[in-house]
Amino acid sequence: MIALCDVNNFYVSCERVFNPALENRPVIVLSNNDGCAVARSNEVKDLGIKMGAPLHQIQDLIKQHNIAVFSSNYILYGDMSHRVDDIIALYSDQIENYSIDESFIRFAGFGYLDLTKHCQKLVKQIQQWLGLPVCVGIAPSKTLAKIANHYAKSLKVNGNVLELSSDYHIKQALAHLPVGEIWGIGRRLSTQLNSIGIETALQLREADRKTLRKRFSVNMERTIMELRGVSCIEFDADPEKKKEIVCTRSFGQKSSDYQLLKEAAAYHVSRACVTLRQQQSVAQCLTVGIKTNPFSQRDQQYSNSITIQLPQPSDFTGHFLAAASHALKRIFKPGFQYKKVGIMLSNLSDIDSVQQDLFNSQPVSNKNQHLMQVMDQINDRYGKGKLRSGTEGFAKQWVMRSDRKSSEYTTNWEQLFKV
DNA sequence: TCTGGGGTCCTAGGACCC
DNA sequence: TCTGGGGTCCTAGGACCC
């Protein structure tokens, strides 16, 4: 059996832990740059505010219902997420951290246990130790565990735990579930499924898997099998290294300044390279992209990106800064109001299995390697960006808006909760 | 005026090999 | 007049997830 443990309205719940006055009050947490609502309390969901609603479109509702609004505080959420993981690890040794607020838990060898009771204890412990509300769904496959979790959330009974094991109960659950609610069936697929008369999850489960595989893809067949209780989606307790590393940010304010774009790109490159070295990889390709504000009616639109291949894979920030500079020069057009610059590292490989150039086998000099090591160590100890490349500049005029951020309650001595 | 960021997987089609 | 069969790799684009 596989369980899915998911924190309810995670970001909102994190805010509530350190601000209990927010209980029973509608609360929203915004995306980066204070753009959209990405986490909503149940009260807010009941008001009909949708996931991803732009802040400026819901200002009236916010006033009217006295909704508390927060900028996202990823340092806090990330730390709380680790704490949740630590508690889950007390309940099984087979855990796949699927996202910041969700983990799959496998119970191979736990046959002697009453899993529902086991998970009820887990829910209680997370609530008691962290103050975070979680729900758990238990079922024979990941897709069904997701569905069980969905019902655990909406029904709110049985200590927030719902186990779907008998065929009878599984069918009951699927009969009332629109096909679009299934994990892996998004908007496009659910429209197409509806058009051939498949409206509920139960109908999909009973459809002919070979026909649907032909029409859609192998993923569709997997989903059908998963709905039948046959586990087809691998349980991956030890996810491989990232295959690409992306860093992008919208600017707080649009800008047509080349220098500003260059500094922002350099900042993103530096961050991505830190991640790259942390996972002991090297990258061969760098993509740089720039974009005006696509929502603007008045601004002239322009977006472009370019991928540069390094002569050899590298993890030396300097190589990528130079490449980024070339790339930006080639796609930058003056006169446009830019809103975003982003970079991506791709064609990643393991640092100790690099295919070297036959004629020129000196990928990163020892000197550069040491430099990166020292910089990473210093920044690790004294704070991000303490040492950085001059290319990043000093003004950081492009930083995103973040006007309503709560404190780093759990990670920063200066910002501990005061009583 | 104001609209996020970071990922993965699959497929078709082109190009190539023997 | 008649022109095979089996395979791999790469890429762009689409779909999905949180």
Average pLDDT across each block of 10 residues of chain A; the chain has 419 residues. List them in order: 96 96 96 94 95 94 96 95 96 94 94 94 97 96 96 92 95 95 93 93 93 89 94 85 91 93 94 93 91 89 88 90 92 93 90 70 75 94 90 89 93 88
**Integer Cα distance of A403 and A393 in angstroms:** 23
Strand C interface, A 304-343, C-beta < 7 A: none
Output the pLDDT for position A106: 95
Is the CB of A186 less than 7 A from some atom of nucleic acid strand C? yes
Which of A305, A303, A351, A343 is CA-nearest to residue A321?
A: A343
3 state DSSP class of A55: helix
| Sheet containing A95-99: order of strands | A95-99, A102-106, A2-7, A134-139, A161-163
Distance B16 C1' – A347 CA (angstroms): 21
Burial of A163 (0-12, 13-18, 19+ CB in 10 A): buried
Strand C positions closer than 7 A to protein CB: 14-18
Considering chain A, what is the average pLDDT of its residues?
92
Output the pLDDT for position A394: 86
Is the CB of A185 less than 7 A from some atom of nucleic acid strand C? yes
Radius of gyration of chain A (CA): 24
* A316 within 8 A of A364, measured Cβ to Cβ: yes
Distance C9 C1' – A34 CA (angstroms): 43
Output the pLDDT for position A417: 85
Task: For residue A217, give the nucleotide whose C1' atom is nearest its CA.
Answer: B10
Count of other CB atoms within 10 angstroms of residue A268: 24
CA A156-A161-A163 angle, to 5 degrees, is 120
Model's pTM, two decimal places? 0.92
Distance C4 C1' – A233 CA (angstroms): 38
Distance C18 C1' – A361 CA (angstroms): 41
Bridge partner residues of A28 (DSSP):
A40, A69
**Integer Cα distance of A116 and A118 in angstroms:** 5
Output the pLDDT for position A350: 86
Distance B4 C1' – A359 CA (angstroms): 44
Distance C17 C1' – A367 CA (angstroms): 41
Task: For residue A191, give the nucleotide whose C1' atom is nearest its CA.
Answer: C15
Task: For residue A98, give the nucleotide whose C1' atom is nearest its CA.
Answer: C18
Distance C12 C1' – A248 CA (angstroms): 22
Strand B positions closer than 7 A to protein CB: 1-11
Output the pLDDT for position A89: 95
Output the pLDDT for position A127: 97
Is the CB of A146 less than 7 A from some atom of nucleic acid strand C? yes
Distance B13 C1' – A217 CA (angstroms): 16
Strand C interface, A 273-302, C-beta < 7 A: none
Output the pLDDT for position A396: 87
Is the CB of A178 less than 7 A from some atom of nucleic acid strand C? no
C-alpha dihedral, A155 to A102 to A246 to A319, nearest 10°: 170
The dihedral region occupied by A200, where left means phi > 0, alpha psi between -120 and 50, and beta the remainder, is: beta
* A179 within 8 A of A167, measured Cβ to Cβ: no
Report CA-CA distances (Å) from A311 to A273, A275, A314, A330.
17, 21, 9, 19
Nearest-10 crossing angle of helices A366-382, A317-331: 90
